[in-house]
Amino acid sequence: MKASLMKYMHELKVNSQEAKADSGKLRLTLVPRAIIRAIAEIRMYGTKKYHDPDNWKLVKKERYRDAAFRHFLSYLDEPKGVDEESGLPHLWHLACNIAFLCELEAKPDEDEACEITD
C-alpha cells in the first residue's frame, strides 16, 4: 500500500503545475504531424517558385478562398489526385490555403492584403 500511495503522490506532483506551469497553453502535440509536413512541402514549393517565403501575405484573401475551393473540388473528384503544376496532392494545397486564411483572418485590422502584381 505504501508503494502505491507513493506512486500516486508522485503522479500528482508530475501532473501538477508545480514542475511546469503550462495549464491553459496549447498542446501542439495534439496536431497531426502529417498536416504540418504537408503544409511545409507546399510552402517549400511556393518559396522556390516565387523566391520569397513571405509573398503569401501580399495576396488577397479571396484568391486563397478560390484556390482552396478549387483544390477541395479536385480532392473530392479524385482523393489521391495531385496538382498538375506542382505534382503535390490537392489535399496538401487545400491545407496550405486554409492555413494562409487562418493566419490572415486572425488579423482583423488587415481586412485585405495587397495584391501581387507580376
Q: Which of 97, 96, 104 is nearest to 35 (CA)?
A: 96
Q: HSE on the CB side for 110, CA within 13 Å?
A: 15
Is residue 118 domain-resident?
Answer: yes
Is residue 41 domain-resident?
Answer: yes
Query: Phi, psi at residue 47, to the nearest 5°?
Result: -65, -40
pLDDT tens string 55-109: 999 999 999 999 999 999 999 999 999 999 999 999 999 999 999 999 999 987 6
pLDDT tens string 17-60: 666 777 889 999 999 999 999 999 999 999 999 999 999 999 99
Is residue 5 domain-resident?
Answer: no
How many structural domains is the chain composed of?
1
Whole-structure pTM value: 0.76
The domain of 41 spans 30-118
